[in-house]
Amino acid sequence: MIIIAIITLGIIGAAGAALLYVTSKKFEVVEDPRIAQVQSVLPGANCGGCGYPGCSGFASACVKATSLDGMLCPVGGAPVMAKVASILGMEAEAAEPKIAVVRCNGTCQARPRTNVYDGTKSCAIASTLYGGETGCSFGCLGYGDCVKACSFDAIHINPQTGLPEVDEDRCTSCGACVKACPKNIIELRKKGPKSRRIFVSCVNKDKGAVARKACSNACIGCGKCAKECPFGAITVENNVAYIDFTKCRMCRKCVAVCPTGAIHELNFPPRKEAPAAPKPAAAPKPTPVAPETSKPATAVTPKPEATTQAAPAAEPENKKANE
């Protein structure tokens, strides 16, 4: 009996195996083996930062593409793209590494609250209801939609400032936070040599006096920076300055002339001329906070002399303008 059972099951098994073999040969899906190879060098985060649905989508798009121009894995950056290029025998486009930059400097001290929001703690929901808890309806709401969107744990709200800060080492410039922010505050900017970069940390489009009243760190659209810039990288539109990072040459002149400290410089060494009278406590505005807590040594430079002196001089004028 046992033998019959073994033989019968053996025959069924063999028949099944034969059937499976035939069907797998007949209906075989021919996949380019390079897709698997490309996918193996990709980070596998499936973040969608490249614009394709996950890493396998990007891999098959790379294999199908005739050139790698415009194809970039923002997470892996140039090294990964070089590997992809060598697998496919193509030239990788020289990609500028980018990083997410939070363009709001409205710290709790600089931007007094005018009302209290007790609804759902979500930026998307709050922005459907009104402009926000402060007088500035363009600035960061601080409920952390960007934090929730980040798959790399690279952006966090600093409880002191109430603003999100980007962890430079972890940020892969996938752009998830940029899409999540309903106020369009976060921008992907060129990471810059030695991570040095300059940007206007404000997106307030209100007129100068209104913006200043809402937030002491706001860009008031005075245009001093645009006049100062020797490279024509700065434009002032809708009462807010914007630095074109493709034109900026990092001279830092704009940082020195900004009356409100809205232009930030990151990771620069301290300037040569030492501050004459360092009075950090008496400074009119809190010094800009470095979004990179991981690098305290190379973080923001102390406020240069020029700014500290220019600011108190400029302030009474602005106050007059407010009235």
Partner 1 sequence: MRTFRIGGIHPPENKLSAGKKITALAAPKQVIIPLSQHIGAPAQAVVKKGDMVKVGTLLAKVGGFVSANIHSSVSGKVNKIDNAIDASGYRRPAVFIDVEGDEWEETIDRSETLVKECNLSAKEIIDKIAAAGVVGMGGATFPTQVKLMPPPGSKAEIVIVNAVECEPYLTADHSLMLAKGEQILVGVTILMKAVGVNRAVIGIENNKPDAIAHMQKLAAQYPGVEIMPLKVKYPQGGEKQLIDAVIGKQVKSGALPISAGAIVQNVGTVYAVYEAVQKNKPLFERVVTVTGKAVKEPSNFLVRMGTPISVLIEAAGGMPENTGKIIGGGPMMGKALISAEVPVCKGSSGILLMTKEESVRKPMHDCIRCAKCVSACPMGLNPAFLMKATVYQNWEMAEKENIQDCIECGSCSYTCPAYRPLLDNIRVGKAKVMGIIRARKK
Number of neighbours of residue 190 by Cβ within 10 angstroms: 16
Q: Which is nearer to partner 1, 129 or 321 (CB)?
A: 129
Q: Binding of partner 1 at residue 322 (CB under 8 A)?
A: no
Q: Binding of partner 1 at residue 112 (CB under 8 A)?
A: no
Separation of alpha carbons 52 and 47, rounded Å: 9
Q: Which is nearer to partner 1, 143 or 268 (CB)?
A: 143
Q: Binding of partner 1 at residue 306 (CB under 8 A)?
A: no
Q: Which is nearer to partner 1, 39 or 204 (CB)?
A: 204
Residue closest to 292 by CA, chosen among 256, 259, 268, 263:
268
> Taking contact as CB under 8 A, which single stretch among the options 5-13, 74-82, 113-121, 152-160 is the one that binds partner 1?
113-121
Interaction residues for partner 1, span 129-148 (CB under 8 A): 129-131, 137
Percent helix, strand, coil in the chain, to 5, is: 35, 10, 55
> Taking contact as CB under 8 A, which single stretch among the options 40-48, 53-61, 166-174, 202-210 is the one that binds partner 1?
202-210
Q: Binding of partner 1 at residue 210 (CB under 8 A)?
A: yes
Which residues on adjacent β-strands are paired with residue 241? 236
- Residue of the chain from 206, 241, 242, 301 that contacts partner 1 (CB under 8 A): 206
- In terms of Cβ atoms closer than 10 Å to its own Cβ (0-12, 13-18, 19+), residue 198 is buried
Separation of alpha carbons 63 and 70, rounded Å: 14
Residue closest to 302 by CA, chosen among 284, 288, 282, 312:
288
CA 18 to chain centre: 55
Q: Binding of partner 1 at residue 115 (CB under 8 A)?
A: yes
Binding mask 72-111 for partner 1 (x = CB under 8 A): ----------------------------------------
Rounded least distance, CB 122 to partner 1, Å: 8
Number of neighbours of residue 306 by Cβ within 10 angstroms: 16
Do residues 179 and 127 touch, judged by C-beta distance below 8 A? no
What is the contact surface with partner 1 in residues (CB under 8 A)? 114-115, 118-120, 122, 124-125, 128-131, 137, 206-207, 210
